[in-house]
Structures are given as C-alpha cells and as structure tokens.
C-alpha cells in the first residue's frame, strides 16, 4: 500500500508539472508546444488508468477469518460477537462491532456500509436501528466503542460473509492496489464445516 501511495503522488506531481507547462505554453502563445505536451500527458494518463482498471479487475477478493481486525490509520474495527435467532423461515443475525482508537487524539470512524453476503452471493442489508452509534462516531484516545447491526435473512444459510465498504468518494480509488474497506474484503462469519 505504501508503494501505491508513493506512485500515486509521483503521478499527481508529474501531472501538475505537465499541466503547468501546457498553461505556460498557452500563455506564451506557443499552441503547438502546448498541444504536444498535452498529448504526452494524456498518453501517460491513459496508460496509468489502464493499469489501474486492469489491476482493480484482477485483484482477488480477500477472505478473512471471523477474528480479523480491519485497520485504517489509528482506527480499527472488528466483529466481536454474533447472535443467531431463528423465527420461522427467517432468522435474525446480530453482529457486535468494536471500534478502537489506538492513537493519542480523538478519531472519528469511517463512513462505512455493512452488509452480509449469504449463500450464492445474495446481499442482505442491515435492519434500521437508529439507537446504535454509527460507524462515524468519535472514539476517545485509547478507548473503544461498541455498536450493533441486525440483519434479517433466510434461515439455514450455510455461508455468511460480512462486507464493510466505505461510502462516498475516496482518493484510494485512484491508487493501484486494494485497501481494507474497498468492498473486495470479506470476513467469513459462518461457513460449512
């Protein structure tokens, strides 16, 4: 991930220099020079975007065990407990999450969306529970905060996976390689023996 960030910032810096050169050429009324520089920039940008799309499509889905802790900076989140309550042809699945601040300053959590994938990849969204703290709640230094999400799904699911995905625009989208909350990381909660 560090190499991806360094490469991304080199590309951004190079882009700024090339666009500044194009602007300077246009201000000095050297249109032909500006167009040549712009063409070079667009070719390099096209190559980068092609590599970005290709690696994103080729990345495998990361499968983590139930005990996995997902980390972003000083903020971590993990599923601490799981409760299944059957009722007829459906069951409630409640998951307790622990959000921890490992730093020395207060940290706001990430704007995450949590959902489950059942048998055959069917998606189940959480039932609304406005009383639980959101994932964006502030966590004091060295402390942790618990929140619960409840899901209603058909009974007797043999494999249940949890996906935590960031919502909204992220600069990480333009970096080559994955990151923990990109939607391509699943935590296996229940699997057949």
Q: What is the pLDDT of residues 73-93, one digit of tens each?
A: 888 889 999 999 998 899 999
Model confidence band, residue 178 (pLDDT cutoffs 50, 70, 90): low
Q: What is the pLDDT of residues 90-117, one digit of tens each?
A: 999 999 999 999 989 998 877 888 899 9
How many CB atoms sit inside 10 A of residue 60's CB?
Answer: 7
**Fold designation for 62-190:** Immunoglobulin-like (2.60.40)
Q: Is the pLDDT of residue 192 over 90?
A: no
Domain boundaries, the chain: 2-58, 62-190
Dihedral sign, CA of 190, 110, 71, 175? positive
36 Cα distance to chain centroid: 38
Sheet holding 123-124, edge to edge: 62-64, 182-190, 160-166, 112-117, 123-124
Is residue 64 within 8 A of residue 78, CB to CB? The reply is no
Cβ contacts of 57-64, under 8 Å, gap ≥ 24: 59/177, 59/178, 59/184, 60/184, 61/184, 61/185, 61/186, 62/178, 62/184, 62/185, 62/186, 63/161, 63/186, 63/188, 64/185, 64/186, 64/187, 64/188
DSSP bridge partners of 70: 77
* Percentage above 90 pLDDT, the chain: 28
- Using a cut of 0.85, tell me whether the model's pTM lies above it: no
């Amino acid at each position: 991930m560090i190499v991806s960030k360094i490469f991304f910032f080199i590309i951004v810096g190079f882009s700024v220099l090339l666009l500044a050169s194009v602007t300077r050429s246009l201000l000095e009324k050297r249109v032909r020079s500006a167009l040549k520089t712009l063409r070079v920039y667009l070719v390099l940008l096209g190559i980068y975007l092609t590599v970005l799309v290709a690696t994103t499509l080729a990345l495998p889905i990361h499968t983590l065990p139930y005990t996995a802790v997902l980390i972003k900076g000083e903020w971590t989140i993990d599923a601490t407990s799981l409760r299944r309550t059957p009722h007829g042809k459906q069951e409630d699945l409640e998951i307790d999450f622990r959000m921890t601040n490992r730093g020395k300053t207060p940290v706001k959590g990430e704007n995450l969306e949590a959902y489950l994938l059942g048998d055959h990849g069917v998606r189940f969204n959480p039932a609304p529970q406005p009383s639980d703290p959101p994932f964006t709640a502030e966590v004091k230094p060295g402390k942790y905060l618990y929140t619960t999400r409840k899901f209603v799904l058909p009974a007797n699911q043999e494999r249940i996976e949890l996906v935590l995905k960031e919502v909204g625009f992220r600069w990480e989208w333009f970096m080559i390689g994955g990151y923990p909350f990109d939607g391509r990381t699943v935590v296996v909660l229940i699997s057949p023996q």
